[in-house]
Amino acid sequence: MAERRNLLETLDKKKIPYHVAIIMDGNGRWAQKRGLPRIEGHKQGAKSVDSVTTTARKIGIKYLTLYAFSKDNWKRPKDEILALFDLLRHYLSKKKDKMKKNQIKFNVVGDIEDLPQDIVGKINEVKAYTSDCNGMVLTLALSYSGKSEIVKACKKILKMYKDGKITEEEIDNNLFSDMIGLPDVDLLIRTSGEMRVSDFLLWNIAYAEVYITKKLWPDFRGKDLIKAMKEFQKRERRFGLTQEQIMTMKQDMKENTEKTIDCP
């Protein structure tokens, strides 16, 4: 706790990423290393979700998106899928009051209708319960595929076009972003050391800073998020510009701030 607080104070408040997305990987290996069934890894992983969410809120992150279940994860053994859904049921019932207390608005992305009916009901209940919270949006990606989200966005745009609501010229990156729904990702974290994106938020990660740690998800807690944050704050994001252009922009911004302060 004290370590986390000290670490928090070392962060630059002006360079907090707006949207952090996490591929929570390595639960199975965590359990396997201990000779436990895979589900034990998922259970410990749920504790990491809690710790990371609480810390993200304290840091001042506005959007936290967690990859909880991919469309391809449906190919896993049935027992594991059922156990994951049980954990999700438990999580939704147990955490809704904490979310509300911490002003966390609950959200989901993915093909939610694929999930068991009672879970869909619980999701809608927690969404409604936290709908007026405005501290941070916590999004769980469930039955999610980044490719499918892009295809869905295309279909929505096609319909708008066919209905005469937009012209061809109005089809641009901004419209696509609106249809996809979540803002651009600033920091993408993946645990367990795998160097891949596994069909996560493909549209939104165009200019995300990527942070990969060998830590397995059940071992990744709030203090590890702060470490990732510190690494993010050291990075220079260029968005296609040269280093010189970035330096000039920073200098101009600094001068403008000084001028504003000088004004009576």
Q: What are the residue numbers of the active site?
A: 25, 73
Rounded Cα distance between 194 and 137, Å, is 26
Residue list 41-80, contact with ligand IPE (CB under 6 A): 67-70, 73
Which residue in the set 17, 28, 110, 222 belongs to the binding site for ligand IPE (CB under 6 A)?
28
- Two structure tokens written together for 259: 């001028």
Binding test (CB under 6 A) with ligand IPE, winner from 161, 198, 215, 246: 198
Pairing of strands 19-23, 136-144: unpaired
- Position with the least CB separation from ligand IPE: 28
Applying CB under 5 A, the residues found at the interface with Mg ion are 25
Q: Are strands 63-70 and 209-212 parallel, antiparallel or unpaired?
A: unpaired
Q: How far apart are CA 54 and CA 26, in angstroms?
A: 21
Q: Kindly compute the dihedral angle of the four CA atoms of residues 144, 147, 149, 151, in this order, to the nearest 10 degrees.
A: -140
27 binds ligand IPE (CB under 6 A): yes
CB of 129 to Mg ion, least distance (A): 31
- Using rule CB under 6 A, residue 220 touches ligand IPE: no
At closest approach, how far in Å is the CB of 25 from Mg ion? 4
Crossing angle between the packed helical segments 78-101 and 38-59, to the nearest 10 degrees: 20
Nearest Cα residue to 66 out of 141, 145, 143: 141
CB nearer ligand IPE, residue 30 or residue 232: 30
CB-based closest residue to Mg ion: 25
Indicate whether 201 belongs to the interface with ligand IPE (CB under 6 A): no
User: Which residues form the interface with ligand IPE (CB under 6 A)?
Assistant: 23-29, 67-70, 73, 84, 192, 194, 196, 198, 217
